């Protein structure tokens, strides 16, 4: 998307702007000559994550904007207020707030400790509310006031809650801020909207969740930056309370070819759909009561393709594989070959078979038997399967993704 200059001289307060989507939105606005408050925690280089508030500020100024880096933990009221006061003192006001800072933990209820629960809710929901609240006096003085939350459309489908209810609640809290504040502030001429990606976006967070190969099925953060720019360039009184999806925003703006945003253009038609949205053109299923249609798996029979598959796996097990993996997996399979199976890659030389594992599983994977075969044959990757609801994971998420590396190594032999 070509810059139009509509954000020239505007001041944007962006949380989590030291890297990823937040930084890309900042750089896009900077090319118009906007003022950017880089509000993030990272002041010193992180051993695993790229970027600091200072390196981001340097990039912003090279792009043509003015930057003010602020050390801000959105959970800290004093830090938030101080950063806002500094922004107003330096730039004369605040026109736009982008609530991008977020925490994620894709764990089920038993595996979500309360420290992690509090972190997600305090950053995602409370942080969004706090930053928006403290910026309101200045937004009300602006003639181009926007609040944009990087949060998903609200959907009550159980599939978005079951695997990671704590994270969904925290993320939906940001979206509920949109719903409530849009109604509350429409008389003040402040647009309050949400933006969410259709597909996985290649950021440090997605790489930590799904591994180095995540680029294969992700889009670049620039698609979110361009979509945010299109939203924030519009007159705020014309729309509010909307839950935008990036590709729809760009298509409405006349950008039809989205292949440019794919990290790997050859895979532009095979991208991983993000949480909380359906694939492009798909119709969302009607919400069903939680647990509807659920059945209790039984132990697997000796007939069928699954027993044959596990026999092959067993013949390939070795101390080296056990040493590299160090995890016990349980598979709850539904469909034509319903049953429970296990793969122990933690003890001895490894073992597998029908029924529950001899020791407590580190990760339990639940899926349809067809998806199970596709995953072990390499046709279906674990991370995209999880994000599209074809695979449910309970327990240690990272160890579950280790299984994909194992399957890749064994693929030619299975």
Q: Which helix (H) or strand (E) holds 372?
A: helix 369-377
Cα–Cα separations (whole angstroms), residue 257 to 39, 249, 276 = 33, 13, 23
Helix (H, G, I), strand (E, B) or coil at 331: strand
| DSSP character at residue 288 | -
**For tokens 């390939």, what's the residue?**
316
- Choosing from 138, 167, 172, 386, the catalytic residue is 167
Cα–Cα separations (whole angstroms), residue 137 to 81, 87, 95, 131, 146 = 12, 13, 11, 11, 13
Smallest Cα–Cα separation from 17: which of 37, 2, 3? 37
CB 23 within 8 A of CB 58: no
| Spatial distance between the Cα atoms of 339 and 333, rounded to a whole number of angstroms | 5
Helices (H), 233-272: 246-252
Q: Work out the end-to-end distance of the chain between its first and last CA atoms, rounded to an integer number of angstroms.
A: 46
Catalytic (active site) residue 167? yes
Using CA atoms of 18, 233, 280, 176 in order, give the dihedral in degrees to the nearest 10. 70
Bridge partner residues of 235 (DSSP): none
Residue positions counted in the chain: 414
* Catalytic positions, written as ranges: 167
């Amino acid at each position: 998307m070509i810059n139009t200059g509509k954000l020239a001289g505007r001041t944007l307060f962006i949380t989590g702007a030291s890297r990823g989507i937040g930084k890309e939105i900042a750089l896009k606005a900077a090319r118009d000559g906007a003022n950017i408050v880089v509000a993030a925690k990272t002041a010193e280089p992180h051993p695993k994550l790229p970027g600091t508030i200072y390196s981001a500020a340097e990039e912003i100024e090279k792009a043509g904007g003015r930057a003010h880096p602020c050390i801000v933990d959105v959970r800290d009221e004093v830090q938030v207020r101080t950063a806002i006061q500094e922004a107003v003192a330096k730039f004369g006001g605040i026109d736009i707030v982008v609530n991008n800072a977020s925490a994620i933990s894709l764990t089920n209820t038993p595996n979500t400790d309360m420290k992690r629960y509090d972190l997600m809710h305090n950053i995602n929901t409370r942080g969004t509310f706090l930053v928006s609240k403290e910026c309101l006096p200045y937004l009300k003085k602006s003639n181009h006031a926007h609040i944009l939350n990087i949060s998903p459309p609200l959907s009550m489908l159980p599939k978005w809650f079951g695997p990671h209810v704590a994270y969904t609640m925290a993320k939906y809290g940001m979206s509920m801020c949109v719903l409530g504040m849009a109604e509350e502030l429409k008389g003040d001429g402040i647009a309050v909207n949400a933006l969410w990606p259709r597909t996985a976006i290649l950021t440090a967070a997605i790489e930590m969740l799904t591994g180095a190969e995540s680029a294969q099925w992700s889009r670049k953060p620039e698609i979110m930056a361009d979509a945010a720019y299109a939203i924030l360039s519009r007159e705020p009184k014309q729309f509010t309370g909307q839950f935008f999806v990036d590709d729809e925003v760009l298509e409405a703006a006349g950008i039809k070819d989205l292949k440019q945003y794919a990290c790997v253009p050859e895979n532009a038609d095979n991208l991983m759909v993000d949480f909380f949205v359906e694939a492009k053109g798909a119709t969302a299923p009607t919400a069903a009561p939680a647990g509807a249609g659920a059945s209790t798996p039984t132990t697997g029979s000796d007939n069928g393709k699954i027993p044959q598959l596990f026999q092959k796996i067993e013949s390939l097990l070795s101390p080296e594989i056990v040493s590299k993996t160090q995890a016990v997996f349980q598979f709850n399979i539904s469909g034509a070959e319903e049953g429970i199976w296990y793969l122990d890659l933690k003890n001895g030389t490894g073992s597998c078979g029908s029924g529950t594992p001899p020791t407590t599983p580190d990760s339990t994977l639940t899926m349809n038997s067809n998806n199970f075969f596709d995953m072990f044959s390499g046709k279906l990757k674990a991370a995209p399967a999880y994000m599209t609801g074809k695979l449910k994971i309970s327990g240690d998420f990272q160890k579950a993704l280790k299984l994909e590396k194992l399957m890749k190594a064994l693929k030619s032999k299975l």
